[in-house]
């Protein structure tokens, strides 16, 4: 049976193998993705991001346990993305240890990915892996990544519901909360809420919401015609505040299904993916330029300061036109 059919029948081993094929961008991977694409778009994709040390893995662990306890028939996926390391090829050992008690459950499918600092890594491979999990019937699909640079913006482009975590005691505390957080957060979580400084973090987020939504009552936790990111205080290690967070996630899912944002976010995701594929194609073209005969001459001319990089680019463009014509 072809891999795509096996995945549709719920074969987890076939899923794991095809994810590897997709990560390697193999022909089999691309073919199966094409075959499976019509069966996607059903699962609720939940992104979880925040600074290193906020307790993301622990929160995911508690969240998943709560979801499993609520619904015996659930089948869910977890993708742990490490965009910070260009060096390690999928370690995340600490995370795996922390997730041990849930990853043994057969209703849970966990995958760790190191995007190794690859440009577009998160937008190109992660949506593909999400799609495979989605076709396999996993719902929800949790995507966890550290909030480093571009990654936190990219996660908001692939998720239906983006949870941004903060915690007290992460060095700069309140100052570290970025002004752009509201552009990506659907739900805010202050973890380690039993630690000193947690109230300060909550207040800082609250103040930011009031600045971001000046004409609305930010204490109205269930408005009918707009969504203000609710703030949840959690102690993930003790599973405190998790039930409320699960409720908040469900409310957000219902809200975006009702107001059309579910489709809009689906649209953003496929567009981000298409853009990443285009960028990948462009990188291949650049490799072709580098292997062409003209390239060493251009580099030598630049080193002798006879032509500038801008002028070298023009030469490459002219050569490209010659090839296309």
Whether the CB-CB separation of 78 and 109 falls below 8 Å is answered with yes
Minimum CB distance to its own copies smaller for 38 or for 293: 38
Residue from 323, 322, 319 nearest 298 by CA: 319
Alpha helices (H) along the chain? 3-8, 12-23, 27-36, 56-70, 93-98, 100-103, 121-135, 150-158, 181-184, 198-212, 242-259, 261-290, 294-303, 309-324
Minimum CB distance to its own copies smaller for 11 or for 275: 275
Minimum CB distance to its own copies smaller for 67 or for 182: 182
- Give the DSSP H or E segment for 48: strand 45-50
Shortest reach from residue 168's CB to its own copies, in Å: 15
CA–CA dist 167, 161 (Å, integer): 20
Shortest reach from residue 315's CB to its own copies, in Å: 10
Shortest reach from residue 73's CB to its own copies, in Å: 25
Residue from 53, 105, 59 nearest 84 by CA: 53
Q: Phi and psi at residue 43, in whole multiples of 5°?
A: -70, 150
- Give the DSSP H or E segment for 77: strand 76-82
Minimum CB distance to its own copies smaller for 65 or for 96: 96
Minimum CB distance to its own copies smaller for 25 or for 244: 25
Binding site for its own copies (CB under 8 A): 30, 33-34, 37-41, 52-53, 83-88, 117, 119-120, 148-153, 171, 178-180, 183, 263, 266-267, 270-271, 273-275, 277-279, 281-282, 285-286, 289, 298-299, 302-303, 305-313, 316-317, 321, 324-325
Q: Which residue has the tokens 């014509």?
A: 325
Minimum CB distance to its own copies smaller for 150 or for 259: 150
Shortest reach from residue 7's CB to its own copies, in Å: 15
Shortest reach from residue 303's CB to its own copies, in Å: 6
CA–CA dist 61, 69 (Å, integer): 12
Minimum CB distance to its own copies smaller for 183 or for 199: 183
From residue 86, give the alpha-carbon distance in Å to each of 11, 97, 121, 184: 32, 22, 11, 25
Shortest reach from residue 265's CB to its own copies, in Å: 11
User: Side-chain half-sphere of 264: how many Cα atoms within 13 Å?
Assistant: 10
Q: Phi and psi at residue 305, in whole multiples of 5°?
A: 60, 25
Shortest reach from residue 223's CB to its own copies, in Å: 26
């Amino acid at each position: 049976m072809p891999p795509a059919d096996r995945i549709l029948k719920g074969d987890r081993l076939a899923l794991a193998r095809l994810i590897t094929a997709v990560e390697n961008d193999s022909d089999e991977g691309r073919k199966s993705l094409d075959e499976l694409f019509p069966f996607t778009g059903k699962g609720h994709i939940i992104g979880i991001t925040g600074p290193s040390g906020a307790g993301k893995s622990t929160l995911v662990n508690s969240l998943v346990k709560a979801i499993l306890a609520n619904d015996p028939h659930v089948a869910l996926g977890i993708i742990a993305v490490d965009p910070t390391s260009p060096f390690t090829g999928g370690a995340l050992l600490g995370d795996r240890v922390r997730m041990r008690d849930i990853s043994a459950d057969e209703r849970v499918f966990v995958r760790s990915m190191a995007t190794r600092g690859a440009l577009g890594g998160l937008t190109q491979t992660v949506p593909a892996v999400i799609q495979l999990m989605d076709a396999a019937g996993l719902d929800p699909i949790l995507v966890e990544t550290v909030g480093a640079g571009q990654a936190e913006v990219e996660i908001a482009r692939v998720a239906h519901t983006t949870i941004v975590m903060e915690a007290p005691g992460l060095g700069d505390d309140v100052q570290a909360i970025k002004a752009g957080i509201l552009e990506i957060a659907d739900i805010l979580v202050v973890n380690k809420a039993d630690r000193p400084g947690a109230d300060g973090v909550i207040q800082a987020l609250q103040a930011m919401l009031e600045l971001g939504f000046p004409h609305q009552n930010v204490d109205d936790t269930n408005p009918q015609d707009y969504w203000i990111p609710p703030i949840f205080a959690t102690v993930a290690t003790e599973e405190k505040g998790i039930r409320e967070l699960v409720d908040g996630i469900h409310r957000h899912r219902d809200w975006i299904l009702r107001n059309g944002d579910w489709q809009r976010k689906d649209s953003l995701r496929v567009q981000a993916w298409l853009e990443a594929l285009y960028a990948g194609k462009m990188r291949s073209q650049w490799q072709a330029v580098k292997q062409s005969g003209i390239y060493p001459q251009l580099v030598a001319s630049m080193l002798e300061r006879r032509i500038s990089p801008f002028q070298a680019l023009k030469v490459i463009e002219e050569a490209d036109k010659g090839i296309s014509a």
